[in-house]
Amino acid sequence: MWRSLFSCTTSPSRKKTRLRHVLHLGSLMERHPEAFYRRFAEKVPNADVIELCLRLADDELRHFRLIGNILSGWGSLPVTQADLEAMDANGKLRSMFLSPPSPSATKEEIIEYAVNEEKKMVAFYGSFEKEFIPIWKKMEIWDMMEEEKSHVKKLSDMLFCLKQSVAKAR
The reported pLDDT for the residue numbered 91 is: 52
Task: State whether residue 9 is helix, strand or coil.
Answer: strand
Give yes or no for a contact between 41 and 53, defined as CB atoms under 8 angstroms apart: yes
Domains and CATH numbers, the chain: 2-169 (1.20.1260.10)
* Local confidence pLDDT in tens for the 170 residues of the chain: 444 444 444 434 334 567 777 788 788 788 888 888 998 898 888 888 889 999 999 999 999 999 888 888 887 666 566 655 655 555 555 556 557 777 778 888 888 989 988 888 888 888 777 778 787 777 788 888 899 999 999 999 988 988 888 788 77
- Going by C-beta distance under 8 Å and a sequence separation of 6 or more, which residues neighbour residue 115? 152, 155, 156, 159
Which contacts of 123-126 are long-range, i.e. CB under 8 A and separated by 24 or more positions?
123/2, 124/2, 124/25, 124/26, 124/29, 125/26
Alpha-carbon distance 80 to 94, whole Å?
22
Alpha-carbon distance 15 to 12, whole Å?
8
From residue 6, alpha-carbon distances to 16, 98, 102 in Å are 8, 22, 33
Report DSSP letters for 20-87, one per residue: HHHHHHHHHHHHHHHHHHHHHHHH---HHHHHHHHHHHHHHHHHHHHHHHHHHTS------HHHHHHH
The reported pLDDT for the residue numbered 142 is: 82
pTM over 0.85: no
Give yes or no for a contact between 140 and 66, defined as CB atoms under 8 angstroms apart: yes
Amino acid residing at 21? H
Alpha-carbon distance 49 to 30, whole Å?
20
